[in-house]
A and B are shown apart, each in its own frame.
Chain A
Amino acid sequence: KAGVTQTPRYLIKTRGQQVTLSCSPISGHRSVSWYQQTPGQGLQFLFEYFSETQRNKGNFPGRFSGRQFSNSRSEMNVSTLELGDSALYLCASSQTGFEAFFGQGTRLTVV
């Protein structure tokens, strides 16, 4: 079956702009989680959605938001981009209680 698909793979944005990243989970998976990976902070949990509801949230400012659609596809949005938001953003899907499957990520560069 198809894996987790994230689009776009690479993105360059300017400070102050906003960005939307997309994640299509594995068919049948209702949980979608988002992570940020930077060289300094490592892999950090952003939030998790299950059946269109945010179920878990990490310690990120309100500029980071997300949503999930009825088909389980998810988007995350970052507003008012800062240089420090440059990172690899990873999406993972799972069936509750089972292992998470990660996408290849979206590499965001803020200039």
Chain B
Amino acid sequence: DAKTTQPTSMDCAEGRAANLPCNHSTISGNEYVYWYRQIHSQGPQYIIHGLKNNETNEMASLIITEDRKSSTLILPHATLRDTAVYYCIVIEFGNEKLTFGTGTRLTIIP
């Protein structure tokens, strides 16, 4: 079973920041938080990951709470191409088995 809880769906206006929450209250000290997204009928795409510090890359920012029980993925300026299902995954370093939950279906509204 997935160790994360995400809202089923969210809408965001084009050009605004999309903030996608994820709860992972049972995360252990050596587990990372990874985010992937899947655009319809394509393979999942890696977005970002973190352990306990906030992370930023060219696609998104990841904010992890101090207790590490939740995190937020931020897409700073959402475009229509960001419409996808977003998956938050908790995984040990070196473990290649990704357990996908149901994810959040993000719809960007023009």
Report A's interface with B, CB cutoff 8 A: 4, 31, 33, 35, 42-45, 48, 50, 55-56, 58, 88, 90, 92, 94, 96-97, 99-105
Contact = CB atoms under 8 A, between A and B. Distances in A.
B15 to A, nearest CB: 28
Given A33-B97, A58-B97, A99-B46, 12 more contacts: A4-B43, A42-B100, A43-B44, A43-B100, A48-B97, A90-B43, A90-B44, A94-B96, A99-B49, A100-B44, A100-B98, A104-B43
Contact of A101 (B38, B41, B46, B93): B46
Given A42-B102, A99-B34, A99-B49, A55 B96 contact: yes
Interface of B: 34, 36, 38, 41-46, 49, 87, 93-102
Contacts of A102: 43-45
A33 B98 CA distance: 9
Contacts of A44: 100
A33 B43 contact: no
- The dominant DSSP class at the A interface is strand
Contacts of A48: 96-97
A70 B100 CA distance: 29
B102 A100 contact: no
Nearest to B101: A42
Contacts of A101: 46
A33 B96 contact: yes
A58 B95 CA distance: 13
A105 B43 contact: yes
14 contacts: A33-B97, A35-B98, A42-B100, A42-B101, A43-B38, A48-B96, A56-B96, A88-B41, A94-B96, A96-B96, A100-B46, A101-B46, A102-B44, A105-B41
A58 B99 CA distance: 10
B98 A45 contact: yes
Nearest to A48: B96
